[in-house]
Homo-oligomer: A and B are copies of this chain.
């Protein structure tokens, strides 16, 4: 079992969570781990299911969402490589997944049994700090989204694009490309509005040359314009 993880070890040792750890320690933390390859739109786990694993995004991306009362999906987060998923509920009494995790394109995930968290992970001070840091970042992000929920749809889309473009590693001076391929539906589910509304705004922007989109890859071509829209105050 441990030998299966050897190649993975090299892949993950540069992730923030493991930055100061040696190979042996990493193998300890991931003991019993298993690499899952997800096809596009395939679920890793679903909202409400018994949560007996947590894990690490290796490649691709996963969309974390929840069903709404109307049968829609409310997207809460886009997880990219290096993100730890579902860890923070592992020390609850009888945990269930608070979200559905769906692959966006072919993606890979290192699935780790729950006990590893409560025993190995929790006894590592550095790791605890990192987990709490990433948790607080997510929390603050959610709160930011909430505080913008009263804004107009164009403003909220602009803010989302800026937020996501900040995730990217490489930054060209003029063109900002989002690191994740996004459908209009995914954007609308993130903002909890209808697809039609998102399309109306974004096709307008496309015509005006503010953004470009090709095969779900969105580029911000007029960064300043998007920024000013995101900052607009009505009244």
Contact = CB atoms under 8 A, between A and B. Distances in A.
A102 to B, nearest CB: 15
Interface stretch (A13-21, A33-41, A125-133, A212-220): A125-133
Interface string A88-102: 110110000011000
Interface residues of A, number: 44
A140 B98 contact: yes
Interface of A: 66-70, 72, 74, 76, 88-89, 91-92, 98-99, 122-123, 125, 128-129, 131-133, 135-136, 138-140, 142-151, 155, 192-193, 231, 233-235
9 shortest interchain CB distances as A-B pairs: A74-B147, A150-B192, A68-B147, A88-B136, A98-B140, A66-B147, A149-B192, A142-B142, A91-B129
6 contacts: A67-B147, A88-B132, A91-B133, A92-B136, A98-B140, A142-B142
